[in-house]
């Protein structure tokens, strides 16, 4: 009896196991089907998240030491008269809390003929917006400085006005030229330019009017008389310095002494450099020369761009 019972038990268990296997198999197929359908959306989401890319950082991560950025030879040219006190050329460092973000230096030289000041400032711009690059943020900061100084925009398309004047204004151009012989002597003066206006204002305020030209001849280039012959000294943008640059020139005569202030700002990638170069004098017959000061400031700017790229 016992062997028969075992065989009977075995025969009864076989259908149950088959049913269980069938149920498990069906459940397994359902699970596989569910995993396949859910994998599609996940893959798409991971692909979308990969498109968020941060803007590129600026070229510069540090700044040069401001007081050591100018060579001694350049300082002697910009600040003559301090050879007996060589420590003057060491400069005075500006107070800053992070020299990798901002640094500056100031020099002052006093002589019998007047006082000269030189200040340089380096600012490294960092954008904390991942969608805006450091360069773009620096350009925004630069344009704000140019706007505050009332620097005119650079001409965008010089060829467009010339073509239109030839096509539409040819007759008017001829008429103006035919009417100009009577007034041609006024043309070389180029009145209406900033530098000429400054010269006229200065002669009125100082009361030297007709004395200024003769004083300029005795000053050996110290007078501003020669500046009236060139439009290149007016406040303007510079197209051959860094990524962006502008130069501002102001003649101040309302203080205790006359002083001409030259400000040159240029941007190289995410660094903005500012040069302030001033010459003061108590002799109202000898106006600080605009062209000479501007050339000195531009030579210094060229030197600083080289230091940034070292």
* Biggest alpha carbon–alpha carbon distance for the chain: 146
Cα torsion through 9, 13, 14, 17, rounded to 10: -160
**For the segment 138-160, what is each residue's pLDDT rounded down to a tens digit?**
999 999 999 999 998 866 655 54
CATH fold of the domain at 66-153+235-308: Protein Transport Mog1p; Chain A (3.40.1000)
pTM summary value: 0.62
The Cα 39–Cα 34 span in angstroms is 9
The strands making up 271-281's β-sheet, listed across from edge to edge, are 92-93, 102-111, 114-124, 271-281, 258-268, 244-252, 236-237
User: Which residue positions in the chain have pLDDT lower than 70?
Assistant: 1-53, 154-231, 255
CB 215 within 8 A of CB 208: yes
The Cα 256–Cα 279 span in angstroms is 13
**For the segment 239-268, what is each residue's pLDDT rounded down to a tens digit?**
999 999 999 999 988 767 799 999 999 999
Domain spans, the chain: 66-153+235-308
Q: Distances from the Cα of 126 to the Cαs of 94, 97, 136, 297, in angstroms? A: 20, 15, 10, 27
The Cα 293–Cα 279 span in angstroms is 8
* DSSP structural state of residue 114: E
């Amino acid at each position: 009896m016992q062997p028969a019972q075992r065989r009977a038990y075995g025969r009864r268990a076989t259908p149950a196991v088959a049913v269980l296997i069938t149920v498990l198999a069906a459940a397994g197929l359902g699970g596989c089907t569910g995993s396949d359908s859910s994998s599609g959306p996940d893959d798409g989401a991971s692909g979308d998240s990969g498109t968020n890319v941060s803007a590129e950082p600026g070229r510069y991560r540090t700044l040069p030491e401001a007081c050591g950025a100018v060579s001694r030879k350049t300082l002697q040219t910009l600040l003559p008269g301090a050879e007996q006190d060589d420590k003057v050329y060491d400069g005075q460092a500006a107070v800053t809390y992070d020299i990798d973000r901002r640094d500056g230096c100031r020099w002052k030289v006093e002589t019998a003929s007047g006082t000269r000041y030189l200040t340089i400032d380096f600012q490294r711009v960092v954008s904390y917006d991942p969608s805006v690059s450091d360069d773009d943020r620096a350009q925004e900061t630069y344009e704000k400085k140019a706007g505050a100084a009332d620097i005119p925009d650079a001409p965008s398309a010089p060829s467009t006005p010339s073509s239109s004047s030839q096509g539409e204004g040819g007759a008017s151009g001829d008429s103006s030229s035919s009417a100009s012989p009577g007034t041609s002597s006024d043309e070389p003066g180029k009145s209406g330019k900033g530098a000429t206006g400054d010269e006229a204002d200065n002669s009125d305020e100082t009361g030297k009017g007709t004395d200024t030209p003769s004083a300029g001849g005795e000053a050996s280039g110290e007078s501003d008389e020669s500046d009236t012959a060139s439009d290149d000294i007016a406040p303007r943008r510079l197209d051959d310095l860094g990524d962006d640059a502008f130069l501002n020139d102001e003649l101040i005569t309302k203080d205790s002494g006359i002083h001409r202030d030259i400000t040159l700002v240029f941007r190289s990638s995410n660094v903005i450099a500012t040069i302030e170069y001033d010459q003061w004098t108590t002799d109202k017959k000898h106006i600080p020369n605009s062209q000479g000061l501007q050339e000195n400031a531009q030579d210094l700017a060229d030197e600083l761009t080289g230091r940034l790229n070292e």
